[in-house]
Structure 1
Amino acid sequence: MSLEQISGHLYDFPKYYDLVFGSDWKAEFDFLKDCFEKFAKRPVKRVFEPACGTGRLMYKLANDGYEVAGNDLNEKAVDFCNERLKRHGHEGTAVVGDMSDFTVKKKYDAAFNLINSFRHLKTEKEAVGHFRCIADALYKGGIFILGIHLNPEDVGDDYEAEEEWSARRGNLQVNTRLWSMNYDPKTRTEQIGFQYDVYTPSKQFSIVDQTVFRCYTRKHMKSLMKKVPELELIETYDFHYDIDDPIEVDADTEDVVYIFRKK
């Protein structure tokens, strides 16, 4: 039986988005803390998340004693994030803002941007702006953790990928399908389709949406890093988030977590 489709941007449904991308929070949370301890050259007390979305990790860090803040362009996601922070006894410190053009009043010890949020930036100017804003927001010796899906260097415009998974919280279940289409290595764009099949005790429906990601290969990332030399690359990992198992990024590597430190 086909489900009724509801139109709208997937980020405008923070409750479902949070469930879909929040199920693996423990591995990411533990990895962030391991990175703070291993790579930062200063005690990490203040943490910033650009493109924070629903704040699925921000409030976990706040519960663990960190001072957190973040920004995101989506007002509904920011409201969801702040309401949850307040519900857990913390200040609502997420603001509506652009991750490629922001300033902070007081610097941070660490920052992180995971699950491809960085690829929403559509131009090289915006990508460089993001790195420079992060560098300006960090104390010397602070670290920046960036998770991104790379495109293999030798793949042509016939590149396709698809992923499906399910997540459940109480009586709410969301089955998710994500697929790649219209990859263009010349324009460095990749159209991504999303489908949420939402099941509750009283209703079932689908949310279908598309977005365009900017594409990065290993070479593109190397070129970008050279433009913001104050952020030094110190280690790379994959999405297994094992602090004791770093990886070497080659031409075929796809899932990468870059660890940078502010010089």
Structure 2
Amino acid sequence: MSQLYENPKYYEIAFSFRDIPAEVDVFEECFKHFSRIPVKSVLELGCGNSPHMEALIKRGYQYNGLDLSKAMLEYSRQKAMQINAKVNLIHGNMVDFSLKEPVDFVFVALGSLYVKSTPELITHFNSVSRTLKRGGLYLLDWCIQFNLASGGGETWEIKRDEIHVKTTVSCRTINPVEQTVEETIIIEVNDNGKCQTIIGKDIKRDIYPQEFLCFISAFKDFEFVGWWNNWNLKNN
């Protein structure tokens, strides 16, 4: 397990720029326009520190989260206890998983679909199919690094109380034929004068738009309903 995911507090700060209530608004817009069943239960795959958990619970949804990091799950469990919420947190791999009870909505946020090959992608969608009720929605939030050849990365800084975090995310091509890339996340932390650098590296398979349409058309259990940019259903 990457060092990155053993430090959930700093990871949470690093990615706290997200507008979580607005993203949950988009979830509910999708429920309204596309779900064929009422949505009461949700599953976040690769939930990490479960940033959407509290907002979803406050709006009346039953939250389930699955992650491979026990440290992240324990951090999420403590967050749930602080708001006196009952949640279902599962230690598992998003490639191949199952739940005791199916859910109404499944989502992956922050580009966290970590599959390394086409067979893993197929296994992943089969797992989602087993887990999602018929008529339910699966929402994927991801970005595609079209300009990998140019190198470089993206850097930002966030301060919370006396903790200052500088984050850099970069990608490099591993195999252009298999469309695999290595994603590196570096978090430089200054916590009340105590400094450390946390590095995480993960390999994932890029999935391009037209390829995804062809891929999903082969699954009888799924129907493609649309794609949008920047959490805006009017921007496609």
Query: Which residue in the other structure is 2:120 paired with?
Result: 126
Q: CA deviation at 1:151?
A: 4.2
1:128-161 Cα offsets, whole Å, 9 max, x none, are 1211211221222211110122244xx7x73535
Asked whether the 8 Å contact 2:153–2:168 carries over to 1, the reply is: yes
1:234 to 217, 225, 229: 225
- Count of aligned pairs: 234
Asked whether the 8 Å contact 2:62–2:87 carries over to 1, the reply is: no
Query: Which residue in the other structure is 2:92 paired with?
Result: 97
- Taking the TM superposition and a 5 Å limit, the aligned residue runs for 1:103-118 are 103-118=98-113
In 2: Cα distance, 1:74 partner to 1:227 partner: 32
Give the counterpart letter for 2:79 in structure 1. Answer: R
Query: Which residue in the other structure is 1:246 paired with?
Result: 235
Query: Which residue in the other structure is 1:5 paired with?
Result: none
2:141 to 137, 141, 147: 147
- Taking the TM superposition and a 5 Å limit, the aligned residue runs for 1:157-236 are 158-236=149-227
Q: TM-score, normalised on structure 2?
A: 0.91
Secondary structure of 2:122's counterpart equals helix
Q: TM-score, normalised on structure 1?
A: 0.82
In 1: Cα distance, 2:123 partner to 2:203 partner: 19
64-73 or 218-227, which moves further after superposition? 218-227
Asked whether the 8 Å contact 2:173–2:179 carries over to 1, the reply is: no
Secondary structure of 1:149's counterpart equals coil
> What 5-or-longer segments of structure 2 have no aligned partner?
none
Task: Indicate the RMSD between aligned Cα atoms, in angstroms.
Answer: 1.9
Q: Which runs of 4+ in 1 moved over 3 A?
A: none
Higher relative contact order at CA 8 Å, sep ≥6: structure 1 or structure 2?
1
- Taking the TM superposition and a 5 Å limit, the aligned residue runs for 1:8-27 are 9-24=3-18, 25-27=20-22
Identity among equivalent pairs (%): 24
Q: CA deviation at 1:37?
A: 2.1
Secondary structure of 1:117's counterpart equals coil
Secondary structure of 2:178's counterpart equals coil
